[in-house]
Amino acid sequence: MSPKDCGFGKVAVLMGGRSAERDISLMSGQGVLEALRSQGIDAQAFDPAERDLGDLRKEGFARCFIALHGRFGEDGTVQGALELLGIPYTGSGVMASSMAIDKAMTKRLLRSENLPTPGHVLLRRGGYGPADIDALADALGLPLIVKPAREGSSLGLTKVTRRAGLAQAVALAEKMDADILCEQFVKGDEVTCPVLGSGTQARALPVIRIVAPEGNYDYQNKYFTDTTQYLVPCGLPAGEEQAIQQLVLQAFGLLGCRGWARADVMIDQATRQPFLLEINTSPGMTSHSLVPMSARAAGISYEMLCLEILKTAALDQPPQSAAA
């Protein structure tokens, strides 16, 4: 059966949006759009920053592929609107999306189930002073990481190596979010692991080990340079990759994620203990992105990956349940 006969109907690829990751989302969305069209899908670009979401229903879209990143796309807001419109969408539902984008909330959930995650201190705008900032080094050690609680792509993130840099790092993060996550730095291997599927059908894809220049995997090194190395197969010691995949699947299920996601993990150099950092429920799909890279290592082409994700489009509350 060809994709045209699979009953996808007219598909909106949601891209762009109003978040700080708009430019990356446009690149992700364009890739997805071209991939779906190459498979015979009636896919059209739709930018929620430029059009009313109500047009999706008026124009007869049957489902949405969410290629939005960050706020107003990955945080449960668009998902809630699509629930009201009754249009199935890819990725996690309202609650899982809103929890996963909040790194502090994710940490609380992980700790509730004794899943390993680095120690942290949460500062809230207007609720801290110079003494609280200075105390971070004593509480978490140096170096430490400071970042907005609800941004992605390493935007607003600083690795602080000296006390003198703490105030500037906090100020940078506060420009992007009222909640500032200050996190213990884990020295060791940086890896990421995607998940495809839902419930008992969810499966972890190959782990990718990331080797960035001077260990600095920032916004520039993520998207706009070719000096960062992505190792897949990851080359980790025997058993470590499987342990990380299992840990990521546990976190995926704990947050109630569905469809697909990608978890970022640090492995302590001394103990080899993996620590969960965060879960991205609408990961990048650009030429530099990691989910397509991992999928290729598993024998899944970019086009087939997009189709597989599209097949998982769903609603938290299907229309027939609401009418029952």
C-alpha–C-alpha distance, residues 318 and 324, integer Å: 10
Q: Does 132 qualify as catalytic in the annotation?
A: no
> What are the residues facing 204 on neighbouring strands?
195
> What are the residues facing 144 on neighbouring strands?
160, 184
Q: Does 240 qualify as catalytic in the annotation?
A: no
Tell me which of 47, 102, 189, 264 is the catalytic residue. Answer: 264
Tell me which of 16, 17, 21, 74 is the catalytic residue. Answer: 21
Closest Cα to residue 147, out of 158, 136, 161? 158
Tell me which of 97, 98, 153, 294 is the catalytic residue. Answer: 153
Write phi, then psi, for 196 (nearest 5 degrees): -120, 140
Tell me which of 28, 63, 98, 223 is the catalytic residue. Answer: 223
Tell me which of 25, 92, 280, 289 is the catalytic residue. Answer: 280
Q: Does 262 qualify as catalytic in the annotation?
A: yes
Structure tokens at 290: 């990691």
C-alpha–C-alpha distance, residues 62 and 71, integer Å: 24
Closest Cα to residue 202, out of 279, 266, 268? 279
Q: Does 23 qualify as catalytic in the annotation?
A: no
C-alpha–C-alpha distance, residues 120 and 3, integer Å: 46
Q: Does 219 qualify as catalytic in the annotation?
A: no
Q: Does 302 qualify as catalytic in the annotation?
A: no
Number of Cβ within 10 Å of residue 15's Cβ equals 28
Q: Does 280 qualify as catalytic in the annotation?
A: yes
Contact by Cβ (8 Å): 315, 88? yes
Q: Does 153 qualify as catalytic in the annotation?
A: yes
Tell me which of 16, 31, 73, 284 is the catalytic residue. Answer: 284
Q: What is the DSSP string of 30-87?
A: HHHHHHHHHTT--EEEE-TTTS-THHHHHTT--EEEE---STTTSSSHHHHHHHHHT-
The residues annotated with a catalytic role in the active site are 21, 153, 223, 262, 264, 278, 280, 284
